[in-house]
């Protein structure tokens, strides 16, 4: 990937960037860490591969909040770029202060899936090939197919390349077949409501209320989240299933028309909860009812901040 | 179950539905007394969280009522509300909560008759599915 570093170096000096946000090798195998580069010579540590699982738009937003005057370049997968574009449409970021450097994304690893495939064994060393990943640990070596450990969001990703960018490094990748996008939702919708309730109850009862999903999400930028409010306290902080359910439903609703399906939440979840299903269901509703897809157009209003006088209201008495 | 009298929370917009409810009262129209009313400035004021909170606190059903499209006192509040409610309804249904728990209606200040009918219909449909259980917080 020296190609990436060289090209980014050129962009860094051409655009006179104050900061470049990308990925560097993390301290654990198969986990990249976000990298904040302010000096050109530090650009040599940049990488981009299937271990780059964070959504960098979150860090971009934090950096802009810290110092609004800097010019920032960001290495963006399709979903990172869509999150940035959506944040621009919500006036959280300014387009002219950001240089989006698109990179082709072939999906990223879901740590929980990896843990399951390896039966919880620790990885001490790994080699990433084109189709497979070879994991080595104490007393074992295993070759795993990429598709077995890629995040569910990535396997159904429709926008692996940045829809809008200033530079693009590499060749554009092909999106997943369109029927894949809501495959999981369609499967769940075939069940009866009671079966679905049992499914979600089982999933959400794993929740330990660590809020990692919220903290990883680039769209969760409120200064005070509704779950942190205590006058009035809307949602309890404990592990009562009712509180957990309401937290997850409300988070899905707050992300309605804003979620770019990056999957940062589900990859951040330490308990491996299926956050994808409900978020995708809401995304599907927004797409089918209002014809809106988040993160494609900087100028367009988000679906819930907009209306048409002839929106369908078959459900209203 | 036979004698189940549901508790219904209604959010009424100040400018249309609240006046509609008032008219129903003034006109001495009969409708079931299972509802508790919260007056809000606009149906757009109703956060989906309010509705979920009602279901959590043991209400068997929730009704949100506002001005007809085009009649909003704040011009577009009910258009935004309509989009929010569509999303809320879809997600509740998906997660497995009975869709009959949450209702929406447009009732104008002149529709006292319609208001009483809406209340009767809501109560009828909530009675059919029985007391709320799924999202209720056990204390």
**Chain A residues near residue B88 by CB distance under 8 angstroms:** 253
What the block records as the tokens of A225 is 């989240």
What the block records as the tokens of B99 is 């869709």
Report pLDDT digits (tens) over A257-277.
Answer: 999 999 999 999 999 999 999
Q: Which of residues 5-44 of B touch A (CB under 8 A)?
A: none
* pLDDT the model gives residue B111: 93
Q: Which residues contact residue A116 at a Cβ distance below 8 angstroms, ignoring those fewer than 6 apart?
A: A272
pLDDT along chain B (139 residues), means of 10: 85 94 93 92 94 93 94 92 93 92 94 93 92 87
B69 touches chain A (CB under 8 A): yes
Residue B82 resides in a domain: yes
Residue of chain A whose alpha carbon sits nearest to that of B52: A246
CATH code, domain with B12 = 3.40.50.960
Q: What angle do CA A92, A26, A127 make, to 5 degrees?
A: 125
Q: Which of A101, A112, A110 is nearest to A155 (CA)?
A: A110
Q: Do A281 and B90 touch (CB under 8 A)?
A: yes
> Is there a contact between A137 and A123 (Cβ–Cβ < 8 Å)?
yes
Report pLDDT digits (tens) over A60-79.
Answer: 999 998 998 899 999 999 99
CA distances from B87 to A118, A250, A310 (A): 38, 11, 16
Out of A256, A306, A316, closest to residue B104 by CB: A316
Summarize the confidence of residues A108-123 as an average pLDDT.
Answer: 88
With a cut of 90, say whether residue A142 has pLDDT above it: no
Q: Do B96 and A226 touch (CB under 8 A)?
A: no
Q: Do A197 and B92 touch (CB under 8 A)?
A: no
Q: Which of A148, A160, A184, A178 is nearest to A262 (CA)?
A: A160
Q: Do B91 and A246 touch (CB under 8 A)?
A: no
Q: What residue numbers bound the domain in which B108 lies?
A: 8-129
Residue B38 C-alpha, separation from nearest chain A C-alpha, in angstroms: 17
Q: Which residues contact residue B102 at a Cβ distance below 8 angstroms, ignoring those fewer than 6 apart?
A: B51, B55, B61, B62, B64, B88, B89, B92
Residue B20 resides in a domain: yes
Question: pTM higher than 0.90 for the full model?
Answer: yes
Full DSSP string of A74-132: EEE-HHHHHHHHHHHHTTSS-GGGEEEEE------B-HHHHHHHTTTPPP-EEEE-SSE
With a cut of 90, say whether residue A315 has pLDDT above it: no
State the DSSP code for A316.
B
What the block records as the tokens of A201 is 């109850």
Q: Do B94 and A188 touch (CB under 8 A)?
A: yes
Residue B138 resides in a domain: no
CA distances from A245 to A229, A248, B84, B130 (A): 17, 5, 18, 21
The residue assigned the tokens 């009602």 is: B54
Q: How far apart are CA A266 and CA B91, in angstroms?
A: 18
Out of A196, A226, A245, closest to residue B135 by CB: A245
Residue B28 C-alpha, separation from nearest chain A C-alpha, in angstroms: 22
pLDDT tier, A28 (very low <50, low <70, confident <90, very high otherwise): confident
- The structural domains of chain A, with segments of one domain joined by +, span 2-110+150-305, 111-149
With a cut of 90, say whether residue A3 has pLDDT above it: no
Residue B3 resides in a domain: no
Number of structural domains in chain B: 1
Summarize the confidence of residues A175-204 as an average pLDDT.
Answer: 91
Out of B90, B95, B136, closest to residue A196 by CB: B95
Task: State the Cα torsion A14-A19-A24-A28 to the nearest 10°.
Answer: 180
Residue of chain B whose alpha carbon sits nearest to that of A187: B94
Q: Do B95 and A234 touch (CB under 8 A)?
A: no
A-to-B residue pairs, Cβ atoms closer than 8 angstroms: 110
Q: Which residues contact residue B122 at a Cβ distance below 8 angstroms, ignoring those fewer than 6 apart?
A: B8, B61, B63, B103
Residue of chain A whose alpha carbon sits nearest to that of B57: A242
């Amino acid at each position: 990937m020296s190609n990436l570093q060289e090209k980014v170096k050129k962009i860094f000096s051409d655009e006179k960037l104050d900061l470049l946000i990308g990925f560097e090798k993390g301290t654990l195998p198969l986990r990249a860490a976000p990298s904040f580069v302010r000096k050109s010579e530090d650009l040599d540590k940049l990488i981009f591969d299937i271990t780059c699982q964070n959504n960098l738009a979150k860090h971009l937003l934090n950096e802009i909040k810290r110092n609004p005057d800097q010019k920032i370049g960001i290495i963006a997968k399709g979903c990172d770029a869509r999150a940035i574009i959506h944040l621009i449409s919500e006036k959280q970021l300014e387009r002219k202060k950001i240089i989006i450097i698109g990179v082709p994304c072939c999906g990223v690893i879901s740590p929980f899936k990896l843990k399951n495939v390896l039966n919880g064994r620790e990885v001490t060393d790994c080699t990433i090939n084109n189709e497979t990943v070879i994991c080595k640990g104490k007393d074992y070596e295993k070759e795993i197919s990429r598709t077995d450990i890629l995040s569910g969001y990535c396997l159904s990703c429709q926008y692996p390349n940045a829809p809008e960018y200033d530079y693009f490094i590499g060749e554009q990748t092909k999106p997943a077949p369109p029927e894949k996008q809501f495959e999981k939702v369609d499967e769940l919708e075939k069940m009866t409501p009671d079966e679905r309730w049992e499914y979600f109850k089982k999933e959400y009862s794993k929740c330990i209320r660590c809020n990692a999903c919220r903290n990883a999400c680039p769209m969760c930028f409120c200064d005070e989240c509704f779950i942190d409010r205590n006058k009035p306290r809307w949602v309890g902080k404990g592990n009562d299933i009712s509180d957990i359910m309401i937290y997850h439903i409300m988070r899905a609703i707050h992300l309605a028309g804003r979620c770019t399906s990056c999957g940062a939440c589900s990859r951040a979840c330490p308990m491996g909860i299926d956050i994808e299903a409900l978020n995708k269901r809401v995304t599907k509703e927004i797409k089918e009812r209002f014809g809106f897809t988040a993160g494609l157009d900087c100028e367009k209003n988000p679906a819930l901040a907009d209306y048409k006088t002839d929106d369908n209201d078959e459900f209203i008495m | 179950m036979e004698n189940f009298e549901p508790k219904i929370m209604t959010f009424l917009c100040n400018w249309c539905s609240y006046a509609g409810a008032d008219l129903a009262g003034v006109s001495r129209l009969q409708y079931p007394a299972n509802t508790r009313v919260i007056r809000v400035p606009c149906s757009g004021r109703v956060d989906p969280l309010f509705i979920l909170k009602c279901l959590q606190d043991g209400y068997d059903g929730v009704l949100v009522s506002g001005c007809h499209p085009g009649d909003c006192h704040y011009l577009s509040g009910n258009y935004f509300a309509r989009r929010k409610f569509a999303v809320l309804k879809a997600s509740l249904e998906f997660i497995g909560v009975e869709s009959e728990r949450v209702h929406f209606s447009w009732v104008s200040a002149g529709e006292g008759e319609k208001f009483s009918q809406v209340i009767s219909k809501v109560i009828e449909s909530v009675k059919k599915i029985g007391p709320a259980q799924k999202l209720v917080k056990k204390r």
